[in-house]
């Protein structure tokens, strides 16, 4: 019996029950500002202080947020099957904290705990679940160069600057109007090129971006199951073989138990 191939696509709705506001939900606004207006290179150029304040608050909110039953069910599914990929639009670290390994996950919009230079390729991965580093500390720049920057980072705490080229550092996320990270796109397409999927689960997304719909339909090309979990209708609903109009943390544990009990995983 061939290993069941599973693709899971998630959006902000999967973290809503962990207390993290969605983007387009009524709780998405920050200081009465539309996230779509803040998460842009233009907003950062105009007022980097404001954008950093927003990301710092979001980082702390995420650090304080627990994983929920939806994250845990998806992690269980990931551990069950070899032919599994999670593509998340979320920049939080809750899927990782729930136990989904980096090989089985693509954060297509980046990771909020990564900080990178707005000019050169310097970047480093901060630590999610724990408070911002204070005082001096050695950080592991993701481009392999070791450097102690926290002192400068903390001292002019508001606007961190690149230790290499002194340009402004920015959160390692994809802003509106920016390109998706090519290496991550390639990972998704390599997984989908290998074959269609027996099960596609789409959780908590408005499916605003065409590539999310394309990947779901590409994965579903052999006519397997396409399960949508979302209290509301989305542009993907009409393609779904099953629409579960329930919150993710309520619906996912049962869906995953069914799949794992089928013994094809
Ligand atoms: N369980 C499941 N779905 C939920 C829940 C829940 N508890 N709560 C809300 N939802 C659904 C909403 O009905 C909505 O369809 O989650 C969706 C959240 O939609 P958005 O806020 O648009 O978030 P998302 O689809 O992830 O946005 C995509 O757009 O703003 C950019 O880069 C940002 O990654 C984000 C992308």
Q: Averaged in consecutive runs of 10 residues, what is the pLDDT profile of the chain (265 residues)?
A: 84 96 75 83 94 93 97 96 93 97 97 96 74 45 45 58 95 96 98 97 96 98 96 97 98 96 66
User: In testing the pocket of ligand 1, which one of 25, 40, 86 has its CB within 8 Å of the most ligand atoms?
Assistant: 25
Residue 150: per-residue pLDDT? 45
How many whole angstroms from 13 Cα to the centroid of ligand 1?
Answer: 4
Non-local (6+) Cβ contacts of 16 within 8 A are 22, 25, 204, 247, 248
24 lines ligand 1 (CB under 6 A): yes
Residue 157: per-residue pLDDT? 55
Residue 31: per-residue pLDDT? 74
Handedness of CA 224, 230, 236, 241 (dihedral sign): positive
Residue 261: per-residue pLDDT? 85
How many whole angstroms from 150 Cα to the centroid of ligand 1?
Answer: 34
In this prediction the pTM is 0.90
Residue 169: per-residue pLDDT? 96
Residue 132: per-residue pLDDT? 47
Token pair in block for residue 253 = 């544990």
Say how far apart CA 227 and CA 81 lie, in whole Å: 18
Residue 264: per-residue pLDDT? 55
Q: Which of 201-219 are b and which e, b meaning 16 or more Cβ less than 10 Å from the residue's Cβ?
A: bbbbbbbeeebbbebbebb
Residue 125: per-residue pLDDT? 87
Residue 43: per-residue pLDDT? 95
Closest Cα to atom 8, ligand 1: which residue?
A: 13
Residue 113: per-residue pLDDT? 96
Active site residues: 109
How many whole angstroms from 22 Cα to the centroid of ligand 1?
Answer: 5
């Amino acid at each position: 019996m061939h290993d069941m191939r599973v693709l899971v696509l998630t959006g902000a709705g999967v973290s809503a029950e962990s207390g993290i506001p969605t983007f387009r939900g009524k709780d998405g606004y920050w200081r009465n500002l539309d996230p779509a207006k803040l998460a842009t290179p233009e907003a950062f150029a105009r007022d980097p202080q404001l954008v950093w304040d927003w990301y710092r608050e979001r980082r702390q909110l995420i650090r304080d947020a627990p994983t929920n039953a939806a994250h845990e069910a998806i992690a269980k599914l990931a551990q069950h099957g070899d032919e599994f990929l999670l593509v998340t639009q979320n920049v939080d670290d809750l899927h990782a904290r729930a136990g989904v390994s980096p090989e089985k996950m693509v954060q297509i919009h980046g990771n909020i705990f990564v900080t990178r230079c707005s000019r050169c390729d310097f970047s480093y991965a901060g630590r999610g679940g724990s408070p911002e580093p204070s005082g001096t500390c050695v950080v592991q720049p993701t481009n392999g160069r070791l450097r102690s920057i926290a002192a400068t980072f903390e001292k002019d705490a508001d606007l961190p600057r690149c230790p290499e080229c002194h340009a402004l550092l920015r959160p390692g996320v994809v802003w509106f109007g920016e390109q998706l990270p090519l290496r991550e796109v390639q990972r998704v397409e390599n997984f989908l090129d290998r074959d269609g999927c027996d099960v596609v689960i789409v959780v908590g997304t408005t499916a605003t971006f065409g590539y999310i719909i394309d990947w779901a339909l590409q994965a579903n090309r052999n006519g397997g199951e396409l399960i949508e979990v979302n209290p509301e209708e989305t542009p993907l609903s009409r393609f779904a073989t099953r629409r579960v109009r329930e919150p993710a943390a309520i619906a996912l544990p049962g869906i995953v138990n069914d799949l794992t009990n089928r013994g094809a995983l």
